[in-house]
Amino acid sequence: MAIKVPCPGCESTFFVKDALAGAQAKCPACGALAPVPEPQPEPAPVQALDQVEVEPVRQAPSPAAGASQWDTWYRPVKSAPVWPWIAATAVGVLLVVVLIVLLLAGGEGAPESPRPPQREGPVAAEQGGRPTGVPHQRRPAVAGSRTAAGERAVRGGPAREVRPAPGQLGPEPARGSAERDEAAPASVAPARRPSAQDEVPTFPPGPLEGGTSEGFEDVLTACLAKAVDVTYQGVRSVPLGARLSAQLGGERYEGMAYGQFDVFVLSPGEPTVRELYLKITSPWRLADGTVLPPGTFVTLENGAYSVVDVAAMEARKRDIEETLARVDRAAADRDWDTALEMLAQASERHPDSAALRMRAAEIRDLRDTVTITIINLAEPSLGFRISQAGRTVAAQRLRYKEMFTFQLKRGTCTAEWLGGNLPKKQETIQVAYTETWALRVVGAPIAPGGPIMERWVRRVQGRQRDEPASP
């Protein structure tokens, strides 16, 4: 076992054998002699024990030990008795109950605060009161009322008459007295509240003519120049709900687009419109002195600016939409006559409606159009060309049992059939209904003059204006 020896000369540490215990050893670093200490026995291994919680035992301080620092600043507080708190709470509740009783008793016998007399009719309207249309009536003094004479009567004393001093006038009678009430009419009509129609003037519907139209166009051009980019040519779109505003001559003009329209810039700085849907939101004072009030709707019809009635415009739009819906239902049933009759009646009510005119043209086109289906049952390869009004409508080559569908106008058409073993054949056909043409061969294939092809017609049934027919 080695022993650790400290050197007193160089303060280093070296190890020697335990046989030199108690002797002196030479330091290998500096050569000085250092005493070798006795070897220390190794400590016995300590066995680990389970941790057990032990509560400390409280012991009373000894009288001989004197007061410690703990006793100096820690002193247990003794619990106060409960009965003083109970007594204080009971007294407080009793005081609150007594106070409430006194307040209620005093409210019944307390003098009534004087109130200003309620006045009615036109006098009350002048004083800011609420007119009811009933003239004011004086209430007679009753016992217990707190007037000057009534107070003395209640106390038992004689009523003292108030007389003016010499040279002074008597007290002015209160407004709404008997004299004024006698002069008031028996009934007064209540004041009418102004309505929105009285406050906001309206501009009569119709076209803007002369200087009014020119002044409106000047303001509109300024508003469009602020709303869209007019520095280069092109088409700009003003969306629905867009705000338009401009400042001219110290006046501010504002409006809103109640429909989408396009602005055409043909030259820089000069916007023009071909359709307009503008709602004026501020007074527009035009050059000729005309004022377009807020809520005026202006549109562009036939190249002229016109003020439109919104209610009539909405009713017109709703009528056209309902008519088109009924026309679509009739067209789905191929009832062309009913659809055209409804469109004619609606066009009489709205002669300037382009939607009605376009829908009537579509219905007439559908009424005059038939669908033709051709089936090849004659040749392995059959070609045909169908012409109408000098132009080719359909040209196709069909294999055996193949079909082809196309549309023709009601009237006559020219058909040319080109078969593999058939000579060229041309015929004129009267077309009036939706039909299916089945081309087949009749007779023996080997016969004088060759085989004969016929057109077997079958009309489509179950639809309007299409009549069933036998082959």
Question: Could you write out the DSSP letters of every residue in 333-358?
Answer: TT-HHHHHHHHHHHHHH-TT-HHHHH
C-alpha dihedral sign at 340, 345, 351, 354: negative
Q: What is the pLDDT of residue 166?
A: 47
Burial class (CB in 10 A: 0-12, 13-18, 19+), 356: buried
CA atoms within 13 A on the CB side of 239: 2
**CA pair distance 397, 416, nearest whole angstrom:** 12
Write down the CATH number for the domain with range 369-459. 2.60.40.10
Q: Are 203 and 310 in contact (CB under 8 A)?
A: no
Q: Which run of H or E residues covers position 319?
A: helix 310-332
Q: What is the pLDDT of residue 140?
A: 47
The residues, ordered by sequence, that sit 6+ positions from 233 with a Cβ below 8 Å of its Cβ are 265, 266, 267, 268
Distances (CA, A) of 25 to 1, 2, 12, 89: 16, 13, 13, 92
Q: What is the pLDDT of residue 60?
A: 54
Question: Could you write out the DSSP letters of every residue in 170-221?
Answer: PPPPPTT-HHHHHHS-S--PPPPPPPHHHHS--PPSEE--THHHHHHHHHHH
**CA pair distance 63, 294, nearest whole angstrom:** 103
Tokens of 225: 């120049």
Q: What is the CA radius of gyration of the chain?
A: 58
Cα torsion 215, 220, 225, 229 to 10°: value is -150
**CA pair distance 427, 457, nearest whole angstrom:** 14
Distances (CA, A) of 299 to 241, 279, 302: 15, 9, 10
Q: What is the pLDDT of residue 432?
A: 83
**Helix, strand, coil shares, percent, the chain, to 5:** 25, 30, 45
Task: Point out the residues of the chain with pLDDT beneath 70.
Answer: 1, 41-80, 107-202, 420-424, 441-471
Distances (CA, A) of 193 to 120, 187, 197, 219: 18, 19, 11, 35
Q: What is the pLDDT of residue 21?
A: 77
Q: What is the pLDDT of residue 72?
A: 55
Distances (CA, A) of 220 to 278, 310, 411: 9, 20, 54
Tokens of 408: 């023709």
